[in-house]
């Protein structure tokens, strides 16, 4: 789906995903500026979004493209130029209630002046191994141990990718950076190449900070990976449906647990269940596009995501059906548990396939 638009601008609940982050930041008292740090080249769509967001939320927003690996450390001078008391780091692909003010209050009440706060949530044993795992002191909430994507079970508390730092974090990152530089000079190149110069926040920094009891973990009252879809309120649609602008829906159409992106056409009496229909796609009359629900109950704030591999025993794992942009589904066919890449005109039914 991100072939046509940068992932942070993919619409979730009717607005670009990144807008949820900006809106949450704008609500924090005394928030001065928002910096977008990523690998997306500036383009007309991104620039227009940033301009509109600044006008709507009345806050300075700047986009900066890293010139090398290093993430926030590469832009440390810009981040600390206004002498901030603290700053947040939010991964752009996280959907959350974003309890940023709660994190700030937690840091002031429970942490040392230079401690850092990680937002955590819970997962089951199997799911937890796909994320950064946190072992906490249940009384003080100090992070005692941190492991990124462990091979065995460590903890059911996982990292949500939302952090509150003070400027002192750059001292810790700088120490890791210097050590990496020294290691690169000492190690022998493999096949004529040195390993890539990179600082990994979770693997390199959090593991060391946990050993020094320099960070704390806060678990909000709801899951850190929850964002309900908001749908239209009339009989044929819902529950949990998001409809984009310019969508055409014919008579007798049934849509449930799905996202329909702008410009799509759902012709008479077609059925769309547990699916994402891409921009400007068309589903013919009496066609059925259906996926297998694999997401948590969106009405349960403590629901857990079941992480499945894309393939199981050599076959595509049944999951939601995804239609890329400008896909045409003919009348009276069934597309079940499949992924269809953009600009495809199908002429028959498919089940459990990736249509390239």
Of 159 and 303, more confident: 159
Instruction: Tell whether omega for the bond before 125 is within 30 degrees of 0, i.e. cis.
Output: no
pLDDT tens digit string along 230-242?
A: 333 344 577 889 8
Q: How confident is the model at residue 23 (pLDDT cuts 50, 70, 90)?
A: very high
Task: Please tell me the predicted confidence (pLDDT) of residue 326.
Answer: 95
N- to C-terminal Cα distance for the chain?
Answer: 13
Which helix (H) or strand (E) covers residue 242, if one does?
strand 241-243
Structure tokens at 115: 């401690």
Q: How confident is the model at residue 276 (pLDDT cuts 50, 70, 90)?
A: very high
Phi and psi, residue 8, nearest 5° = -65, -20
Residue 340 to residues 103, 257, 323, 345, Cα–Cα distance (Å): 41, 18, 5, 10
Q: What is the CATH number of domain 241-355?
A: 2.160.10.10
pLDDT tens digit string along 99-110?
A: 999 999 888 887
Q: Does residue 55 have a pLDDT over 80?
A: yes
Q: How confident is the model at residue 219 (pLDDT cuts 50, 70, 90)?
A: low
Q: Does residue 217 have a pLDDT over 80?
A: no
Instruction: Return residue ranges of the chain for CATH 3.90.550.10.
Output: 66-218
Which of 240, 244, 239, 165 is closest to 206 using CA atoms? 165
Q: Which CATH class is domain 66-218?
A: alpha beta
Looking at the DSSP bridge assignments, the partners of residue 159 are 120
Q: Does residue 149 have a pLDDT over 60?
A: yes
CA 249 – CA 256 distance, rounded (Å)? 13
Which of 143, 140, 121 is closest to 131 using CA atoms? 121
CA 78 – CA 21 distance, rounded (Å)? 20
Looking at the DSSP bridge assignments, the partners of residue 228 are none
Instruction: Return residue ranges of the chain for CATH 2.160.10.10.
Output: 241-355
**pTM (2 d.p.):** 0.74
Q: Does residue 163 have a pLDDT over 80?
A: yes
Q: Are 277 and 267 in contact (CB under 8 A)?
A: no
């Amino acid at each position: 789906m991100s072939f046509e638009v940068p992932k942070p601008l993919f619409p979730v609940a009717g607005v670009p995903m990144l807008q949820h982050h900006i809106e949450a930041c704008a609500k924090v008292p005394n928030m001065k500026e928002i910096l977008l740090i990523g690998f997306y080249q500036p383009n007309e769509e991104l620039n227009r979004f940033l301009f509109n967001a600044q006008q709507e939320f009345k806050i300075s927003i700047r986009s900066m493209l890293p010139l090398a690996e290093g993430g926030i450390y590469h832009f440390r001078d810009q981040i600390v130029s206004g002498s901030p008391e603290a700053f947040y780091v939010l991964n752009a692909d996280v959907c959350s209630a974003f309890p940023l003010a709660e994190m700030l209050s937690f840091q002031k009440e429970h942490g040392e002046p230079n401690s850092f706060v990680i937002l955590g949530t819970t997962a089951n044993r199997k799911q937890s191994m796909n994320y950064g795992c946190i072992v906490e002191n249940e009384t003080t909430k100090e992070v005692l141990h941190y492991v990124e994507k462990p091979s065995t079970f460590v903890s059911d508390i996982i990292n949500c990718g939302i952090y509150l730092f003070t400027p002192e974090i750059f001292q810790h990152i700088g120490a890791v950076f210097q050590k990496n530089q020294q290691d690169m000079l000492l190690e022998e190149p493999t096949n004529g190449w040195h390993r890539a110069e990179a600082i990994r926040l979770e693997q390199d920094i959090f593991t060391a900070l946990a050993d020094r009891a320099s960070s704390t973990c806060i678990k909000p009252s709801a899951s850190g990976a929850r964002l309900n879809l908001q749908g239209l309120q009339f009989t044929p649609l819902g529950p949990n449906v998001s409809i984009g602008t310019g969508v055409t829906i014919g008579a007798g159409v049934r849509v449930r647990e799905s996202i329909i992106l702008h410009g799509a056409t759902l012709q008479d009496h077609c059925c769309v269940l547990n699916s994402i229909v891409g921009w400007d796609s068309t589903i013919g009359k009496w066609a059925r596009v259906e996926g297998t629900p694999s997401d948590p109950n969106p009405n349960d704030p403590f629901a857990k995501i079941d992480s499945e591999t894309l393939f199981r025993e050599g076959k595509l794992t049944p999951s939601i059906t995804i239609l890329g942009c400008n896909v045409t589904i003919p009348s009276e066919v069934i597309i079940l548990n499949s992924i269809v890449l953009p600009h495809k005109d199908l002429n028959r039914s498919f089940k459990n396939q990736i249509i390239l």
